[in-house]
Amino acid sequence: MKRIKIKEILLTKPEGQTVTAKGWVRTFRNNQFISLNDGSTINNLQAVVELNSITDETLKRITTGACLSVTGELIPSPAKGQAVELKVKELEILGDSDAEKFPLQPKKHSLEFLREIAHLRSRTNTFSAVMRVRHAMAFAVHKFFNDRGFFYIHTPIITGSDAEGAGAMFRVTTLDPNNPPRDEQGKVNFKEDFFGRETNLTVSGQLEGETYALALGDIYTFGPTFRAENSNTTRHLAEFWMIEPEMAFYDIGDNMQLAQEFLQYLVRYALENCAEDLEFLNKRALEEEQSKPQDQRSELSLIDRLKFVADNDFQRLSYTEAIDILKNSNPNKKKKFQYLIDEWGVDLQSEHERYLVEKHFKKPVILYNYPKDIKAFYMRQNDDNKTVAAMDVLFPGIGEIIGGSQREERYERLVKRVNELNLPEKELWWYLDLRKFGSAPHSGFGLGFERLILFVTGMTNIRDVIAYPRFPGNAEF
């Protein structure tokens, strides 16, 4: 018989029909009750084996982790918490699992341990739920932009440009690392490399995206990006996915509005389409909160945080206004902030961003008009010559989740800024060309996909919301 997914079986009215399910054993009790899961849902199907209907040899092979095919009669379940169960008529073991060696036993495992067996952690409730939510969010991203007439552009993964000017890049080369060719000055001669120049893995698709926004109007990218930063925090990865829309004829206000609509759409999509997984993750997050000291516990549950974002207009305020609020706040006056705010021009830290969102405004915040000295070269300079038309969206529990700006469309102003920062004008010739031939006001932003998944799932470490995390010292699997 054709296999039916467990998610579908659990929604079927039991009328004694014969169905086939296939999946992995979570538990096997009393030589009768098999808890089976196939990844289609957080919930398991109970398959009931009649006593003496299966040989002892087969019974011994029904272990946690084993893969089975079961065919039988779908009947109402007398047990609490489940509407149906499968009365097994035929059972086939598709793949054995050595009970003594299988590392995922029916007990709670630490997230640190599960990272060591990332090839198997997707079989746990937590990680299967996270990955189903991740899929739903990826689908929702494409649906949001497609429904609004945006075009999906695949920007290059190998590039010669550094969009942020940060320099933390992974080099791409085919040269012999032990004996690279050298030029007359003794430096590595990249003219003999595969691309005839230095290249690296992309840190952002933004600059290339802008070129298509100034031809197609509204575009977005959604792909992997790479940062060679030696950062071992719970918020950073060396390889992560970025969503970067770029829109012609958008000013900073239009940009902020789109960012709010986008985030609220994604959160509502999760609430409407991932209810069972979010309910499980909500309970998990509540248990984790109970282990924290009282003063470190979140005031809102995971579900409440999602509704908090979905139901509230985002507060908009300038960087200057934010500095005044933070400077006069109790945590700053009482020196509770790790980084005290004492002057205009400092870069805000996560603790400041979360204070504005969670304590002061109690709603998501969009900060705009940042000092130009702490922002990237491509951001549009304001008339005060001190600030740029940059904006960050701040979320509860996360801090910054989106960063963006109106882009500098004026050729002379952009060239001047490039030179001020000693950036290689020759390498940016194509980007500067856009400002020569039919330049137009345009804006865009970047959303780190894993930061979004961190927020939506309530997980606390970014290494747990991507299948195989890449971070300093780790490229396992």
**Which range, 133-137, 346-350, 356-360, has the best average confidence (pLDDT)?**
133-137
pLDDT tens digit string along 181-201? Answer: 999 999 999 999 999 999 999
The CATH number covering residue 72 comes to 2.40.50.140
pLDDT tens digits along 97-117: 999 999 998 888 999 999 999
Cα distance between residue 329 and residue 439, in whole Å:
43
The tokens of 472 are what? 């300093």
Say whether both 164 and 289 belong to one domain: yes
Specify whether 85 is located in the same domain as 142: no
Q: Within this chain, do residues 299 and 385 fall inside the same structural domain, yes or no?
A: yes
Q: Which of 68, 103, 138 is the last residue in one of the domains? A: 103
Rounded Cα gap, residues 449 and 436, in angstroms: 33
Query: What is the b/e burial string over 62-92, where b = at least 16 CB atoms within 10 angstroms of the residue's CB?
Result: bbbbbbbbbbbbbeebeeeeeebbbbbeebe
From 379, 377, 347, 353, select the one nearest 365 (Cα to Cα).
Answer: 353
- CA 378-368-336 angle, to 5 degrees, is 120
Q: Does residue 183 sit within a domain?
A: no
For CA atoms 420, 425, 429, 431, give the dihedral sign: negative
Reply yes or no on whether the pLDDT at 394 is more than 70: yes
CATH code where residue 289 lies: 3.30.930.10
207 and 278 share one domain: yes
376: confidence class by pLDDT, cuts 50, 70, 90 = very high
Which three-class secondary structure string do you get for 320-345?
HHHHHHHHCCHHHHCCCCCCCCCCCC
How far is Cα 368 from Cα 349, in angstroms, rounded to an integer? 15
pLDDT value of residue 163? 60
Task: Specify whether the CB–CB gap between 427 and 160 falls below 8 A.
Answer: yes
Determine the distance from the C-alpha atom of residue 214 to the mean position of all C-alpha atoms in its chain, rounded to a whole number.
Answer: 28
In a domain, 319, yes or no: yes
pLDDT for 317 equals 96
**Quick one: 253 and 386 in the same domain?**
yes
Please say whether the dihedral angle defined by the alpha carbons of residues 166, 167, 168 and 170, taken in this order, is positive or negative: positive
pLDDT for the residue numbered 370:
98
pLDDT value at position 181?
Answer: 96
Q: What is the pLDDT of residue 167?
A: 59
Do 141 and 25 share a structural domain? no
Instruction: Enter the tokens of residue 110.
Output: 């630490």
* Domains of the chain: total: 2
Instruction: Tell me which of 75, 103, 131 is where a domain ends.
Output: 103
Count of beta carbons in the 10 Å neighbourhood of residue 362 = 15
The whole-number pLDDT of residue 295 equals 72
Its pTM stands at 0.94
Residue 44 · residue 35 · CB < 8 Å: yes
Model confidence at 427, pLDDT cuts 50, 70, 90, reads confident
Tell me: do 84 and 133 sit in the same domain.
no
Question: CA 7, 8, 12: angle at the middle one, nearest 5?
Answer: 125
Q: 127 and 65 share a domain?
A: no
Same domain, 327 and 375: yes
The pLDDT assigned to 162 comes to: 65
pLDDT of residue 166: 55
Write out the residue range of the structural domain in which residue 400 sits.
Answer: 123-168+203-464
pLDDT level of residue 164 (50, 70, 90 thresholds)? low
CA distance 109 to 51: 32
SS3 of 61, please?
A: helix
User: Dmax of the chain from CA atoms?
Assistant: 85
Q: Report the C-alpha gap between 254 and 308 in whole angstroms.
A: 23
In a domain, 196, yes or no: no
Q: What is the mean pLDDT of the chain?
A: 94
Q: Are residues 348 and 448 in the same domain?
A: yes
Pick the more confident residue, 69 or 396. 69
Asked whether residue 267 carries a pLDDT value surpassing 80, the answer given is yes
Q: Collect all residues with Cβ–Cβ distance below 8 Å to 194 and sequence separation of at least 6.
A: 172, 173, 174
Residue at 470 is within a domain? no
In a domain, 339, yes or no: yes
Q: How would residue 1 be classed by pLDDT, with cut points 50, 70 and 90?
A: confident
Last residue of a domain, one of 58, 75, 103: 103
In a domain? residue 1? no
Give domain status of residue 86, yes or no: yes
How far is the CA of 88 from the CAs of 66, 73, 357, 444, 456, in angstroms? 17, 7, 53, 56, 38
Cα Rg of the chain (Å, integer):
27
d(CA 235, CA 453): 12
Please tell me the predicted confidence (pLDDT) of residue 280: 97
Distances (CA, A) of 302 to 71, 281, 285, 397, 463: 38, 8, 7, 10, 19
Q: Which of 57-61, 293-297, 339-343 has the lowest mean pLDDT?
A: 293-297
Report if residue 225 sits inside a domain.
Answer: yes
Same domain, 217 and 322: yes
pLDDT of residue 161: 75
For 304, residues 6+ apart whose C-beta sits below 8 A from its C-beta are none
The pairing of beta strand 45-48 with beta strand 158-159? unpaired
Q: Does one domain contain both 357 and 220? A: yes
